Each structure stands twice: as structure tokens, then as C-alpha cells.
Amino acid sequence: MNKVGIMGGTFNPVHNGHLFLAENTREQAALDKVLFMPSKNPPHKAIMSEVTEQQRVDMVRLAIKDNPYFELSEFELMRDGYTYTADTLKLLTNENPDVQYYFIVGTDSLFMMQKWYQPQTVFDLCTIAVAGREQAKEKEILQHIECLKKEYDAKIIYINMPMIDIASESIRKRFTEEKSVKYYLPDTVIEYIREKKLYAAK
């Protein structure tokens, strides 16, 4: 079976933390490719209305264009209403029964998964790849992984990587405050944001 990672998110904007996370997961889980899948209408997060779906897609396309293992997927953008991970995985699995999916999450998301919509479906249809190395929380993270394995018979792997503390919200704020965003996100994405004057960039 092909092994395909899914990197979901609003990508508002996509940044180097996303790319680093996806590449480490691809390498350690021996994935054939990673799909970058922008969310349309996630139930847990409002998307800034002044940034369009197409602009978020454009930024992802620019960010991943030099990595042959990364691929843009507009799968969730083609659906109406809230986009739940369980529904996405059901549709993808029906369309691609020969693919083994790996859903990439950060440690914060890991601790919220029991509250997700249809968590058992999520665990049944994919392997969860938990990325990040928070030394202070590592014991707690591993304990929670064992808890999810027992409760849901979940397939979970822990991706060992340095902690990259970059958040889209802080990047938007840096643009607004006219601070440097060098090395936070790819230069091509920085140029695009300034060209389109997103996040009050100048």
C-alpha cells in the first residue's frame, strides 16, 4: 500500500514550521508523499475573512513547489459546511482503498482528539503521526498516546524532532507590526503576502 501523509490546517499563512513538521514525518514514517490540505471551514477555528481560499492555496503552492514529495490537495475546499477529519478520511479511504493514510498532528491536537467529531472513525481510518518534542511534556505525551491506544485501539507514532515554535497568528502579528518575518516562512510566500498586501503587510 502507498503511505500518504495528510498535513491539514488553515495555512493562514503556511510557514516553515509546517514544512519542517511534514518533512520530518515523511522521512521517519517512510511516506511516499505528504498532502498539504487547506481547511475550508474547520469547526474549531475561524478563518480571517480578508484572506481568501485562493490566497491560502496560492501560499501553500508556493511553499511546497520545490519538494517533490509534497503535494497540494484542495479536497476539503470542495466541500460545504464544516470539514471534519472523520468525514475527510471516510471519503479519501473510499476513493483510494490502496492508500494507508497518516494524519499529522501537533501535541496540542493530540490532547484534544477525544473531543473530535467521531474520534473512533479517525483512529480506525489512519495512523496518527504526532510531531514535536516538548521535553517538559514528553512523559505526559507518551502516557496519553498509550491511553488512546487502549481506548480506541489507535495506531499512533511519535515523530522525534526539535521543537519549532512558529505560529501563523504570531506571523500575522509580525506583519501588522512591520517586524521581520525572515526565516519564519519561505521567501516566496513573504513576497506573495507583500504583493497582495495581506495581514497589513507593506
**pLDDT tens-digit readout, 87-101:** 999 999 999 999 999
Rounded to two decimals, the pTM is 0.93
Domain encompassing residue 150: 2-165
| pLDDT given at position 50 | 81
In a domain, 107, yes or no: yes
Q: In the chain, how many domains are there?
A: 1
- pLDDT confidence of residue 45: 62
**Is there a domain that residue 199 lies in?**
no
Please state, as a whole number, how many other Cβ atoms lie within 10 Å of the Cβ of residue 77: 16
In a domain, 189, yes or no: no
201 domain-assigned? no
pLDDT at 48: 62
Residue 85 covered by a domain: yes
Our measurement of the distance from residue 108's CA atom to the centroid of its chain's CA atoms, rounded to an integer in Å, reads: 12
Task: Kindly provide the b/e burial profile for residues 19-30, where b requires at least 16 CB atoms within 10 angstroms of the residue's own CB.
Answer: bebbbbbbeebe
Evaluate whether residue 171 is within a structural domain: no
Q: Residue 54 maps to which CATH number?
A: 3.40.50.620
Q: Is 72 part of any domain?
A: yes
Which residues in the chain land under pLDDT 50?
A: none
Domain assignment present for residue 98? The answer is yes
